Amino acid sequence: MQAGCRPGVAVAALSALLAVLLDPGSPARSQGTPNLQKDMVGQWELATTERSKTCVVTFKGDATPQGLKLELEPGCAAALPFTKDITAWNIKGLGDIVRMQDAAGQPVIDFTEVESGIFEGLRTGEGVYILQNLAAARSLAKSMDQMIGDWSMVRGNGKAICGLTLTNTEATGDNFQVFLKPRCDPAVAAFAPNQWRLDHGRMILMSASGQTWQFEADDNAQWRRVPDSADPLIMIRGQ
């Protein structure tokens, strides 16, 4: 008989491994917690999805009897009333939930990461809130500001076919109002976009019927409709 692991020993070892993995308090199960806790230390923007109401939160690594320390900027309670109950923060779940909690340690709002550096939390009866690194949030706001104004939609040959005005006036959700100027090409007029937004690096125009056109920035700081075609559609700053 060849030397090897006896079946009874193998079963015992496997059982022990499963016990470790399934134990919420085990080191293997909670190893993600210190990483997220460390990553969260710093300044973050807490905001409504459309960023009409914002609050700067500073997460700290110092422990308190209630949890970890945090600071809320003075205007937070006025902008987001529920923040007045927040006194500390912590990492919960399997090390993947950022919890803002009250003095009794009860959750005020829990956030989970939906994409790198962006967390979402739901307040029943109020809606979804976004938690994002402050520098990244302000960079996004600056990008939005740079988009506001008049644009021309042109064909690949440079012929202008429509004028549009992108605004920062809230429409629905994360969208903002866009207005077409007179004498647009029939194809654009039929599409009739009335809302726009930036989403993962793309400019998205939306019609009342839910139809969307997507544009990506090219090397010339213009926005080209995707997917590309033999007769491309390009957005450039209005003259």
Could you read off the pLDDT of 14-35 as tens digits, one per residue?
344 344 334 433 333 333 445 8
Q: Is the four-CA dihedral 85, 88, 94, 96 of positive or negative sign?
A: positive
Mean pLDDT of the chain: 83
| 59, HSE (Cβ side, Cα atoms, 13 Å) | 23
Domain edges within the chain: 14-134, 148-237
Q: Flag the least confident range among 7-16, 52-61, 70-79, 96-105.
A: 7-16
Tell me the average pLDDT across 114-132. Answer: 92
Q: What does the pLDDT read at residue 5? A: 43
The candidate with the shortest Cα–Cα distance to 158, out of 228, 227, 222, is 222
Q: What does the pLDDT read at residue 221? A: 65
Q: Is the four-CA dihedral 63, 128, 126, 48 of positive or negative sign?
A: positive
Distance CA 199, CA 212 (A): 12
Is residue 189 over pLDDT 80? Answer: yes
Is residue 165 over pLDDT 80? Answer: yes
Q: Flag the least confident range among 48-57, 68-77, 113-122.
A: 48-57
Q: What does the pLDDT read at residue 235? A: 92
Q: What does the pLDDT read at residue 201? A: 73
Residue, of 11 and 221, whose pLDDT is higher: 221
Is residue 87 over pLDDT 80? Answer: yes
Task: Judge contact between 96 and 69, C-beta under 8 A.
Answer: no
pTM: 0.55
Could you read off the pLDDT of 2-19 as tens digits, one per residue?
444 444 434 344 344 344
* Domain 14-134 CATH assignment equals 2.40.128.10: yes
Alpha helices in 83-194 (DSSP H): 134-147, 186-191
Tell me the average pLDDT across 186-214. Answer: 91
